Amino acid sequence: MKFAVIVFPGSNCDIDMYHAVKDELGCDVEYVWHDEKSLDGFDGILLPGGFSYGDYLRSGAIARFSHVMKEVIKAAEAGKPVLGVCNGFQILLEAGLLPGAMRRNESLKFICRPVQLKVENNQTMFSQGYEQDEVITIPVAHGEGNYYCDEVTLASLKENNQIVFTYHDVNPNGSLSNIAGITNKAGNVLGMMPHPERAVDELIGGADGLKLFQSIVKQWRESHVVNA
C-alpha cells in the first residue's frame, strides 16, 4: 500500500506522518506538494496537521482551494482511505468532505498534551484494530479544535455511527458531544483532532495511534484479496 502525505505551505506535522507510515508501519509513502494535479498512484491519502497558509481567514479555508484538493475529493469519492489530522481535519471540513465546522477552543488558548479518547465505533477501516469502547491515549495540539454542527447533523452522525472517537473523561476544547473524530457516511474519510502519528512508538510516550494506521492497511489488503 502506498500513501501520499499532502504538504501545504505551513504544514508542520508532515514529517511525523511520514515517519509513522514509513518507519513504524513499513509502507511506501511520498510527500505530495499542494499544487500536485494527480494522486492516481496512491492508495491512501494523509492530510497532516500544521497551520496551512498561516491559518489566515480561518483554519483550512485557503488550503481547501489548493489544486491537490480536487484530487483528494476524487480519491475520497473513489473509496480510497483519506485521513485528516488536526489541520487536516479542518481542511476536510472546509472542503465539504466531512460535515460541521471548527471553532476556537473554549479556553481561547492553544492546548498541547496527551488526552484520553474513547473508541465509539470500531467497525471502520480506521478503527477496526481497537476494541469497542477502548480508551486510548493520543496527544492533541491545536487552538481551533472545538467541533460544532447543528442538531440535524449531530443526529445524522449518531444515527450513521460516524462518530469514531470521543474525548474520554475530560473534553479539552469544548467540542460538541465530546467529538474528537468523525467519518463521512461511506466510512472512508476520517477527520480527527488528536495526532495518532505522534503516538506510534513507546519510545515517544505511547503507541496507541499505530493501530489506526494498521487498521487502514489491514482493510486495504483484505479488500484487494477479495477483489483479486
The full 3-state SS of 110-171, as one line of letters, equals CEEEEEEEEECCCCCCCCCCCCCCCEEEEEEEECCCEEECCHHHHHHHHHCCCEEEEECCCC
Q: Residue 226 pLDDT more than 80?
A: no
Q: Establish whether 86 is a catalytic residue.
A: yes
Largest CA distance in the chain: 51
The one catalytic residue in 13, 27, 86, 149 is: 86
Predicted model pTM: 0.96
Q: Which CATH number fits the domain that encloses residue 61?
A: 3.40.50.880
- Predicted local confidence at residue 122, as pLDDT: 98
Contact 116, 137 (CB under 8 A): yes
Give the pLDDT band of residue 115 (cuts 50, 70, 90).
very high
- The residue segments making up the domain with residue 174 are 2-227
The one catalytic residue in 34, 142, 168, 195 is: 195
Lowest pLDDT segment from 52-56, 101-105, 160-164, 191-195: 52-56
- Predicted local confidence at residue 204, as pLDDT: 87
Q: Establish whether 195 is a catalytic residue.
A: yes
- Predicted local confidence at residue 56, as pLDDT: 84
> How are the residues of the chain apportioned to helix, strand and coil, as percentages rounded to the nearest 5?
30, 25, 40
For 26-54, the pLDDT digits (tens) are 999 999 999 999 999 999 999 999 999 99
- Predicted local confidence at residue 150, as pLDDT: 98
Q: Which of 35, 32, 61 is nearest to 45 (CA)?
A: 32
- Predicted local confidence at residue 57, as pLDDT: 84
Give per-residue burial for 54-68: e unless 16+ CB within 10 Å, then b: ebeeebbbbbbebeb
- Predicted local confidence at residue 228, as pLDDT: 54
Q: Establish whether 13 is a catalytic residue.
A: no
DSSP string, 29-47: EEEEETT----TT-SEEEE
Give the chain's domain count: 1
Average pLDDT in the 47-66 region?
A: 93
Average pLDDT in the 8-29 region?
A: 97
